[in-house]
Structure 1
Amino acid sequence: MYMSSLKHLYVQLKQYKESHKPLYFLSAMVFFWTIFDCILSYAVPLILTEHGFSATQMGFILGSSSIAGAAFDFLMCRFIKTVNFRRVFMFMFAISAVFPLILWQAKTIPIYILAMVVWGIYYDLYNFGLFDFVSCYTEKKEHAASFGIVQVFAYLAEIIAPLVASLLIVEYVDFKTFAGSAIFLLIGFLFLILLMVVTRKRKLVDLKCEDGYCAVKELPNSASQFRSWKKIGGYVFPALFLTFFLYTVDAFFWTIGPIYSEGLGLDGFNGLLLAAYALPFILAGIFVSKLTSKYGKLKVAYVAFLIGSILLSCFALVSAINPVFTIGLTFFVSMTIAISYPSLNGSYADYISEFPAIEKDVEGLEDFFTNIGYVIGPILSGFLADTLGIEKAFSAIGAIGVIFALVLIKSALRKKKLNEK
């Protein structure tokens, strides 16, 4: 649970100065690797539609990457006991290099699904490597701040990547797109080499890391896990459901967003839509803490969710007036999502601080509902795009969000009244 904003980055860099050089190399590596990843994230829906797949088929293909990631996560937890960030990141870069090669040659659904499996695996490896590095090379009290710094660089990359992608893609996705993404992957790999060099003789913060210890989660037996999740899930279900829905909306933007963007006709700046979507994530952290301290974490998350859903439901109307205006609308929708995320994370932290024994279960449930959102989101967005059109698909998920937001708010008010009695 960490805060990611430009203000946070400035404060931490001023405090750390030269003492956290490995963290800076890691952040640079993540920055360039994320640009590579997001360029291809922008290109994949376009590639699939260019090859004649329907939006629904595209959604199922993209959703398979999250299924593969979840399965790989399960296998890592079950069978891999020790992980070293160097080996993990080296493997991640090797698989990342294979991904565009498979995409370049893919023509059939099985090959595209293979590409999605590779995609899901290398993204999961990124998370494992990141957690291992932070746990072994930064003090425990600095973990949240360190994650926050890395995340700011990732968000900056997500802003830049769609703009780069739209410059590389003229009429259709061709070799330039893959070559351009490969350049960023190579630069990221060079920073990984530097990171490995500067950490070679650096003292480990946690002595357990000398034996290859890392943050791979222990997996209890399935029966006890599901019983525990069922009990705890009922208590935190509103927050979990909102987590699921927010990631579903995120999947909408990254699935059908690139297709809509390329139809804006902005001559090389079609990526502005997704850049506008990514920008609020490094801005919202500046004032979220003030809102949550004044009004409460879940209340802020619910109200922001409601406002964002109302705005998103207007997507088709705004697009009909002027498609370019949807860039501004997307920015404000994303701002509400960016407010909801840290508010939700704060509520999870509250649950954990109140009942420390359930920390692993809450984290596991949050991860599970996130994965479900990234499976359902692409499939639902593709189906709605085929049925209603892309603009109305965004409006439809916004309208559904309004209904769910009102239900969550009503439920919270009812619970508050019962507690007062």
Structure 2
Amino acid sequence: MFFRRMGVNTGSSVWSRVLALSTVFFLIGLSDSVLSYWVPPFVQKTLGSALLMGVVLSFSSIVGLSADIVLPQLLQGAGVRKLIMISVFLSLGFGALLLLSYRVTSVFVLLLAMGTWGVYYELLNFSRQQFLANNTPHNIHASASAVLFTFRGLAYTIGPLIAGFLLTSSTQAPIVFALVITVIGGLALRISRLGSGGHVNLEIKNVNFVSELKHWKTLFRVVWPMIAMSIFMGIIDSVFWTSGTVFSEKMSGNIIARFILPAYMLPMVLVGPLLARMNIVSGKKRKAQILYLVSGFLLVLVGFADNLAAVVFFVFASSVMSAAAYPLVDAVYGDMVERLGRQRWHLIGLSSSATSVAYIVGPILSGFVSGIVGEQKTFAVFGIGAVVLSVVLLFTTKRKFTLPQSEIARWV
């Protein structure tokens, strides 16, 4: 009944695959969200420095950015199932390294864990875009993306709550829980209806950094408005998980402060079903930019709210708008990936790199701005940035992206 209200026909083979992948992503995301809650305070406590904690965590995104350059040349024959299964094994390796770092204090082990985490995250991004291009018709890219984001949002909404509960019993309990859930996710993948895995070409001699960056330059000239949006969306997300958590902790004497992050994450769960039911086929770029413009304006109001109830309300309202924009941006990528055919991996790598860049520079910018204006007004600063960016993109984004097919056809 729930999925029918979303406009999802569970009897359809396409939607059956979407729901199968969503279930797998929910389980893997639940594991990841529990560890995302556990890792930062553990690293800071282990290293005894907030600065070192930031450096170690950013290493994950640096490795992820490198993976975005290398993976398009390694994964030419990879299927969705194969990509996700590799991600599952990397997630298990990440958890095992965290258990080791808990017993053996070593910066090297922590960096190895963060690097593993970075590659795992990028492979999941690649698998999502590959799935949208290969397994869903063009006219339901936005709806399918909305369903995937709904399940992801649910995982990241309840994961921190579970992690907080587990920490009351044991410091290592979240890791064990995450490992078990990852195994269940792997088993769910095995019995899912996602099709065969495909062959993964891992010939290191095929990797050429310069060649890949040239491909990115060609694609960037076309899709730069979406890349710009992706980077800024990632930066604001990092603001919530850095300055937002600090602000919540400072205001923890007021119970309302505990609802700031849930108010940020919950709209992804609520908006996804509505967006899936709307089945937006055209005008995705412009709709995403308008939604993000409104989201930025509401984020500005967060910075100037005079009580925590108003902060939570404006955070929720802003997140509703951005939660609607996210799947539309993702669907635009899905449309372009489909059009690129066998060269799709290069665009997937470029779009994934936007997130990596955001999570490298986001925490640094957030810390710098909050040091000047304070945590609450940091939201206003980045909200103004979102408004300005959206206005610029509304006037500069072409109605249709045209790929240089003759040049792309010459790529090896």
Same fold (TM over 0.5): yes
Are the counterparts in 1 of residues 153 and 269 from structure 2 also a CA contact under 8 Å?
yes
Question: Are 1:213 and 2:199 counterparts?
Answer: yes
Q: Which residue does the alignment assign to 1:3?
A: none
Deviations 1:92-121 (A, max 9, x none): 342132243255357676554343223213
**Residue 177 and residue 272 in structure 1: after superposition, are their counterparts in 2 closer, same or farther (change >3 A)?**
farther
Match of 1:419 in 2: none
**CA, structure 1 residues 336+177, in 2 after alignment: closer, same or farther (shift >3 Å)?**
farther
Encode CA deviations 1:126-145: one digit per residue, 9 max, x unaligned.
45666788999x68889957
Aligned equivalent of 2:288: 301
Question: Matches of 1:217 and 1:337 in 2, distance apart?
Answer: 40
Look up the match of 2:409.
none
Q: Give TM-score, length-normalised by structure 2.
A: 0.75
CA-to-aligned-CA distance 1:267-295 (integer Å, 9 cap, x gap): 9886532222122223334248859678x
Consecutive unaligned residues in structure 1, runs of 5 or more: 1-5, 417-421
Match of 1:389 among 374, 381, 384: 374
- Alpha-carbon deviation of 1:37? 1.4
TM alignment of 1:364-379, pairs within 5 A: 364-379=349-364
Q: Does 1:229 align with 2:216?
A: yes
The offset of 1:62, in angstroms, is 2.4
Report the equivalent of 1:281. 268
The change in CA–CA distance for 1:147 and 1:311 in structure 2 (over 3 A counts) is closer
Indicate the residue corresponding to 1:187 in structure 2: 181
User: 3-state SS of the aligned residue for 2:172?
Assistant: helix
| Aligned counterpart in structure 1 of residue 392 of structure 2, from 396, 407, 410 | 407
- Map Cα deviations across residues 57-114 of structure 1 (whole Å, 9 max, x no partner): 5443322211112323444444567663585255234213224325535767655434
Partner of 1:32: 27
- Given that 1:244 and 1:373 are in contact with CA atoms closer than 8 Å, whether structure 2 keeps it comes out as yes
- Residues 249 and 377 in structure 1, CA contact (< 8 A), matched pair in contact too: yes
Asked if the contact 1:152–1:282 (Cα under 8 Å) also holds between the matched residues in 2, the reply is yes
Residue aligned with 2:358, SS = helix
Give me the identity figure in percent.
26
- Residue 179 of structure 1 and its aligned partner are, at CA, apart by 0.2
Does the CA-based 8 Å contact 1:77-1:217 persist in structure 2?
no
- Aligned mate of 1:317, from 289, 296, 304: 304
| In 2: Cα distance, 1:156 partner to 1:243 partner | 21
Q: Distance in 2 between matches of 1:140 and 1:350?
A: 9
Among 212, 222, 231, which residue is 1:244 paired with?
A: 231
Supply the AA of the counterpart residue of 2:231.
Answer: F
1:15-53 deviation per Cα after TM superposition (whole angstroms, max 9, x unaligned): 259x95x87676444323322211222233334555686
Shift of 1:326: 2.2
Offset at residue 256 of structure 1 (A): 3.2
In the alignment, structure 1 residue 94 sits paired with structure 2 residue 92: yes
What amino acid is aligned across from residue 60 of structure 2 in structure 1?
A: S
Deviations 1:228-272 (A, max 9, x none): 433432233222211211111112222333333334437988653
Q: 1:93 to 1:40 in 2, by over 3 A?
A: closer
Is 345-354 or 177-186 further displaced after alignment? 345-354
Aligned to 1:104: 102
Letter in 1 for 2:176: A
Contact 2:296 2:387 in 1 (8 A): yes
- How many angstroms apart in 2 are the aligned matches of 1:23 and 1:33? 15
User: Structure 1's 106 and 401: CA in aligned 2 closer, same or farther, altered over 3 A?
Assistant: farther
Paired positions, count: 391
Question: Alpha carbon RMSD of aligned pairs, Å?
Answer: 4.4
Which residues of 2 match residues 39-118 of structure 1 at below 5 A? 39-48=34-43, 50=45, 57-79=52-74, 84=82, 88-102=86-100, 104=102, 112-118=110-116
Q: For the structure 1 residues 179 and 13, does the alpha-carbon distance in structure 2 shift closer, same or farther, using more than 3 Å as the test?
A: farther
Equivalent of residue 159 in structure 1, options 147, 157, 161: 157
Change (3 A) 1:95 1:154: same
Q: 3-state DSSP class of the match of 1:311?
A: helix
Partner of 2:406: none
Q: Report the CA distance shift for 1:367/1:125 in structure 2 as closer, same or farther (over 3 A).
A: closer
TM-score (norm 1): 0.73
Q: Sort the Cα spacing of 1:362 and 1:380 in 2 relative to 1 into closer, same or farther, 3 A.
A: same
Q: Secondary structure at the match of 2:308?
A: coil
* Structure 2: tracts of 5 or more residues without a match: 400-412
C-alpha contact 1:163 1:272 (8 A) present in aligned 2: no
